[in-house]
Amino acid sequence: MNPTTNALRAGLRRGVIELRATFTNGQDLWTYFFPTVVLLVAVFWMRGSTVPGTDFSLGARTLPSALGMGLLFGGLLGLANQLVIDREDGTLLRAKAIPDGMLGYLVGKIVLVSAVALIGVVIQLTPGLFFLDGLRLGDPGAWLTLAWVVPLGLVATLPLGAVIGSLVENPRNMGLVVMPIFGLIALSGIFYPINGLPGWLQGVAQVFPLYWLGLGMRSALLPGDLAAVELGGSWRHLETVGVLGAWAVLGLVLAPVVLRRMARRESGSRVAARRERAMQRVG
């Protein structure tokens, strides 16, 4: 067995082990269920409102959009957080010291973060089926659309998470990444259609993957008639593939370069300095 194959298998095993550990850790269980409770409460109270120009529940329209948002948070921020934390406590330095250790580490984290994101989608979607009408999970076309939207969304966001996690050294600076994403949520039609926004704001929203993740999930789970209230009056599957694919290519080009640069710079002295700063913050 060559070293690369060995590293891939070790990374897969590591990811599965870390995933199992999330089900026995209170903090990890909180990250599974707290966002789910917040989302379901929100869509429950929105279920009586309707999408403008239709009699369709705004809550039922919001749930698929929020699932797309969850893929972005899970893929991009999930992997970025893992890299930042593991770099500060020396985990990355230890992985670097093992032949092909960085490859195994990254494979493990990708398996973990992807699985957590998918579990989040299932946990959030399942209860919504019991009090929201109109979701078309019984349609085989819905599953076919989910089969390409979800993997493409993860491929578009995971490499970006690796880039961000490689550039941010201090976990406290992750807030600088989260705040712009909250701004994009307001622009990207997650909780309300963006047709009423000025054209330039609609253009800004369509540059980033969040809008297209929400649109792709809506196209999978909502009736075809609801496409009429979207920009362009359709689900725009080709454009969804194009934009998410472009972000995936950009991330896959940048991530190896940034990760190699970050790995080369890691040293015992840098880990010790970060640990010292962390102790000062605690003190």
Please state, in angstroms and rounded to a whole number, the distance separating the CA atoms of residues 81 and 250.
Answer: 20
| Distance in Å from the first CA to the final CA of the chain | 48
Please check the confidence at residue 132 and state whether its pLDDT lies above 90.
Answer: no
- What are the φ/ψ torsions at residue 2 (nearest 5 degrees)? -75, 160
- pLDDT on residue 213: 96
Please state, in angstroms and rounded to a whole number, the distance separating the CA atoms of residues 198 and 180.
Answer: 19
Please state, in angstroms and rounded to a whole number, the distance separating the CA atoms of residues 174 and 165.
Answer: 9
> 10 Å Cβ neighbour count for 16?
14
- pLDDT on residue 235: 95
Please check the confidence at residue 268 and state whether its pLDDT lies above 80.
Answer: no
Q: Are 36 and 42 in contact (CB under 8 A)?
A: no
Q: How much is the mean pLDDT over the chain?
A: 89
What is the SS3 assignment for 57? strand
- Each residue of 47-104: pLDDT tens digit? 888 998 889 999 999 999 999 999 999 899 999 999 988 888 788 888 888 878 888 8
Rounded to an integer, the average pLDDT of 266-283 is 68
Tokens representing 68 are: 């797309």
Please check the confidence at residue 177 and state whether its pLDDT lies above 80.
Answer: yes
Please check the confidence at residue 279 and state whether its pLDDT lies above 70.
Answer: no
- pLDDT on residue 281: 60
| Structure confidence at residue 204 as a pLDDT band (50, 70, 90) | very high
67 class by beta-carbon count within 10 Å (0-12 exposed, 13-18 middle, 19+ buried): buried
> 10 Å Cβ neighbour count for 155?
18
Rounded to an integer, the average pLDDT of 173-195 is 87
Please state, in angstroms and rounded to a whole number, the distance separating the CA atoms of residues 70 and 43.
Answer: 15
- pLDDT on residue 70: 92
- pLDDT on residue 1: 59
Domain ranges in the chain are 3-268
Name the least confident of 41-50, 121-130, 270-279. 270-279
Strand partners, 50: 57
Own/partner pairs, 179-183, CB within 8 angstroms, 24+ separation: 181/72, 181/73, 181/76, 181/77, 181/210
How many alpha carbons fall within 13 Å on the CB side of residue 223? 11
